[in-house]
Amino acid sequence: MSLAFDRNAYGELLAKYQPQVITSESEYESMLADVEKLMGNKNRSPEQTALLKILVRLVEEYESKNYPMGKPSPHAIIQHLMEARELQPADLVGIIGSLDDVSELVNGKKAITKAQAKALGEFFHVSTELFL
């Protein structure tokens, strides 16, 4: 059973929370606390869910501007993909070369060649560009 969206209740929530673009760390902390409170509410109304979506978007926007994540290294990507698939270095021997080659690539001691990047891309079903 779907609950009807109550515009008046939503208007009251908007008046209470007054969502706006975050411009300071204190505003960020306050909005993050509101997000956590709403997320923790197991019996969230449709209006609260709509508000939560707005607040999350505002928090994400602030974080992307103020806490940008750098591009992960090709070695970190290999490590992540291996971990996600529960693979060991020996599982990549047929893709990259010897166990020593795999170990050096995974540990960032050796650069990934274009041929290896292509093989890794095909093996993991991702863009070759991730490894270059």
Tens digits of per-residue pLDDT, 53-101?
Answer: 999 999 999 999 998 877 889 999 999 999 999 999 999 999 988 899 8
Which residue carries 């079903």 as its tokens? 125
Please compute the mean of the pLDDT values over residues 14-43 and round it to a whole number: 94
**Where in the chain are the domains?**
7-66, 74-131
Q: How confident is the model at residue 2 (pLDDT cuts 50, 70, 90)?
A: low
Other beta carbons within 10 Å of 117: 18
Other beta carbons within 10 Å of 81: 18
Percentage of the chain exceeding pLDDT 90? 71
Return the structure tokens found at 19. 């969502």
Residue-level pLDDT at 1: 43
Report how far apart the first and last C-alpha atoms of the chain are (Å, whole number).
50
Residue-level pLDDT at 35: 94
CATH topology of domain 74-131: 434 Repressor (Amino-terminal Domain) (1.10.260)
CA distances from 111 to 25, 83, 94 (A): 39, 20, 18
How far apart, in whole angstroms, are the C-alpha atoms of residue 13 and residue 41?
Answer: 15
